[in-house]
Amino acid sequence: MNKNFIFKTILSLHISEKSNKSKENNNVIVLKVNKNSNKREIKISVEKMLQLKIKKINVLNVKGKVKKKGKNIYIKKNWKKAYIFLKPNQNLDFLNN
C-alpha cells in the first residue's frame, strides 16, 4: 500500500457531542472517510496511519443538507462516516500522546 492510498481514504476526525460521548463510553472513534472506500480499505488505513487495533467498523452514508438563503437553494455534499470500535486496551487521545 502506498501512502497516497492511506491519506485519500481517511479525510478527517468527525467531532460532535455524540462522537465525544461514544469515545468516552464505548471506545469508539468517528472518522469522515472517502465516499468510495469500503470497510476493508478503512481498516487497513486506520491500522497503518493511527497504529490502532480494530474490533469492528460500521459505515454510514450521510445525505447532504438543503439550505436556503433568500431565493437561493444550496445543497451540501453527501459524505461517508465510519464508526471504528477499538479493542479494549487501545486509545486515541491527541492531548496525552
Per-domain residue ranges of the chain: 3-86
Task: For residues 9-29, give the mean pLDDT.
Answer: 88
What is the per-residue pLDDT across 35-44, written as a single tens digit (0 to 9) for each? 999 999 999 9
Question: Quick one: fold of 3-86?
Answer: Alpha-Beta Plaits (3.30.70)
The CA angle 24-27-32, to the nearest 5 degrees, is: 95
Which cell numbers hold the place of 12? Answer: 478527517
What cell was used for 59? 459505515
Residue-wise pLDDT tens digits, 30-67? 999 999 999 999 999 998 888 889 999 999 999 999 99
Indicate the helix (H) or strand (E) that contains 26: helix 17-26
d(CA 52, CA 90) in angstroms, rounded, equals 6
Residue 80 in contact with residue 60, Cβ under 8 Å?
Answer: yes
Q: What is the pTM of this model?
A: 0.82
